[in-house]
Each structure stands twice: as structure tokens, then as C-alpha cells.
Amino acid sequence: MGKGTYGSGYDAGRGGYGDFPVVRPRRLRTTPAMRRMVAEHRLHPADLILPVFLREGIGEPVEISSMPGVYQHTRETLRRAAAEAVAAGVGGIMIFGVPEEGKKDATGSCGTDPDGILQVALRDVRAEVGDDLVVMSDLCLDEFTDHGHCGVLDERGRVDNDATLERYAEMACVQAEAGAHVLGPSGMMDGQVAFVRRALDEAGHQDVAMLAYTAKYASAFYGPFREAVDSSLTGDRKAYQQDPANARESMRELALDLAEGADMVMVKPALPYLDVLRRVADAVDVPVAAYQVSGEYAMVEAAAQRGWIERDRAIMETLTGARRAGADMILTYWATEAARRLR
């Protein structure tokens, strides 16, 4: 006999008649139309945010070897990618800048240069898509520092939290002036949301929103991203990113970010932290994002290339998993592709 509820005669408590079940959940799985109608969670193109990289000083896009199908863009191809995202119905785009070799320094000065590569990217994308796409900007120093850390270092080589906040405030203002709709402070410095919010408001950028990287874990899944941004990191970021063993700590970070004025909050990575994502989503009344990071992307692509999994189904399943766990928005390198499929 198959799975069901049985008894000798009808058993109201168990839902069975003799040897045959009355309660048959499979009835709601019989056809694609039926499954679609009763689906509990749905993906929509507007739920998706596309992370992109603009690399300074290249004439052609450069494929990232550990992320097949993802590129460091030229200015021209970045504008094209933004336009394609709009056409597919993607909700937003998160921009990262990769400066030319030799331009990184100890304080990440390219990040606060009005003509730095990230600000150039913001202006280009806004010129291309206007307000048809939510243009987001990574607010962190790691792409621009010669040591690869997310902040400035003190005399002992440690990330100086409060000195870094000053740099973030400068960065936030130039990014807002370059056209960002949303800033994503991702460095996990204490007090970063409040400090940046005050700087933005004092500079007249009250309408620029903040997507707080609330629970950003010191994860092994960031490896391909470091290739994408030509990271100079030595050591690790465990002294400021969150310990993978901790979940309760993320709720403390969440309370702080909300009190400091975050408009949206994020859990990063997505797949290894779906439990944290669920807890965050259950606790807040602001939009919740999940970042499907480079390592998650690379795992699926590598396994699919070897014929070990069905690529397209795996992509949609991982996105649905994040949505089911509570994400209102998902940053994913498959955003444009998945949006086209959803449409």
C-alpha cells in the first residue's frame, strides 16, 4: 500500500476508509497547473537583484574563472547588463568597483574619489536605466585597500572600527551623489548604519535608502568573489564578520541595525544560513534580503558542468529555498537569467 491513512471502517481522526486513504495530498500535485495554483511561495523577477562588477582599465569583459558566465565588465558592457536586467524585470542591481592595478592604498582612497571606478559605474548605470532599476552600491573598502580588509588598519594591523566609520561616511556621500538609490554597508563595523545615516542626512541625501548587511558571516563561500574583485586580502575577516556557529548574535545585530535606521536588512550567505534568514524574517517588519553568494553560484555551475545535477532546476530550487525561508529579495548572479525564465 502507498502512503495514506487506513482503518477498518471510517476513522474520522485518521481520515481513512478501510484499506484506502481519504486524505490524499497527492491530489494537489497532479498537474503543472494544479501545482502552480497551490504553490505556497512564488518567485517574481522583481524579487531579484543582480550583483555586477565594473573593472577599470579593460577593453573587453573578463570572465571570472571560478564563476563561469559572470564577468568583470567594461563600462559599455555594464550598461548593457543593466539594460538587459530592466528588460527581464529584475528588481535591482548591486554594483562593485574593481580599480586598476596600483590604485589601491591603505585607506581605500579610490572608494571616496568622486571619479573612482564605483562612482563612474553608478553614474553610467543611472544614465542608462534611470529609475527603472533600483541602483544599489556596495559601501565597503575591501575592493580599494591594498591590504584587502573592509576598513582602515591601526598601528597593530587591526581594523580600526571608528576610523573606518569616518571613511564609510565619506564613501556614502560620494555614492549618493553619483546616483545610488540604495547603499549597502557591508563591512560589519559596529555602528555603521547610524554613522552613515547621519552623514547622508546631513548632506541632504535623506531619500537614499540603506540595506544593512545585518548578518554577514565569515564564510568559506566567498572565495570566487575575491577573484571577482581582485582582492588583496591576507589573513581573514573573522574579527569583524560573524561566526558561523552563532545565530542568536544575528538577532542582536538585527536589533542594532533597525534602531540605527536601516531600511532593509540582509543575511549573507543564503544557503548555509536559511535558519538565520527565517528568524530574521519572522522578527521584522522591514524588507529582508538574502545574498546567494559566489560560492553558492560556483557550486551549482561546477556540478552542472560535470553532469551531476540539473542546472536550471537547481538554480530555481535554491532561489525558492531562500524565498521560502523568508527573503523578500535575493541577490543572485542568476538574476537576469532567472527573471527571464519566470516571465
Q: Does an H or E element contain 214, and which? A: strand 209-216
Distances (CA, A) of 203 to 50, 122, 174: 28, 18, 10
User: What is the Cα–Cα distance from 30 to 33, expressed in whole angstroms?
Assistant: 8
Average pLDDT over residues 87-103: 95
As a whole-number percent, the residues of the chain with pLDDT over 90 amount to 85
Q: What is the pLDDT of residue 327?
A: 98
Q: What is the pLDDT of residue 3?
A: 57
Q: What is the pLDDT of residue 238?
A: 85
The residues annotated as belonging to the active site are 216, 268
Q: What is the pLDDT of residue 7?
A: 47
pLDDT tens per residue, range 218-253: 999 998 888 888 788 777 888 989 999 999 999 999
Closest alpha carbon to 143 in 99, 107, 92, 112: 99
Please check the confidence at residue 141 and state whether its pLDDT lies above 50. yes
Is residue 240 within 8 A of residue 150, CB to CB? The reply is yes
Q: What is the pLDDT of residue 233?
A: 77
Is residue 224 within 8 A of residue 64, CB to CB? The reply is yes
User: What is the Cα–Cα distance from 260 to 252, expressed in whole angstroms?
Assistant: 12
Cell numbers 597593530 correspond to what residue?
Answer: 156
Average pLDDT over residues 54-78: 96
Q: What is the pLDDT of residue 298?
A: 97
DSSP β-ladder status, 71-73 and 48-55? parallel
Average pLDDT over residues 86-98: 97
Q: What is the pLDDT of residue 226?
A: 86
Is residue 335 within 8 A of residue 292, CB to CB? The reply is no
Q: What is the pLDDT of residue 15?
A: 60
Question: Helical H runs in the chain?
Answer: 32-38, 75-88, 117-129, 161-178, 192-202, 223-228, 248-259, 274-283, 294-305, 311-324, 335-342
Average pLDDT over residues 90-101: 95
Please check the confidence at residue 111 and state whether its pLDDT lies above 60. yes
When pLDDT is cut at 50, 70 and 90, the band that residue 14 belongs to is low
As a whole-number percent, the residues of the chain with pLDDT over 70 amount to 95
Average pLDDT over residues 106-128: 96
Amino acid at site 3: K
pLDDT tens per residue, range 252-308: 999 999 999 999 999 999 999 999 999 999 999 999 999 999 999 999 999 999 999
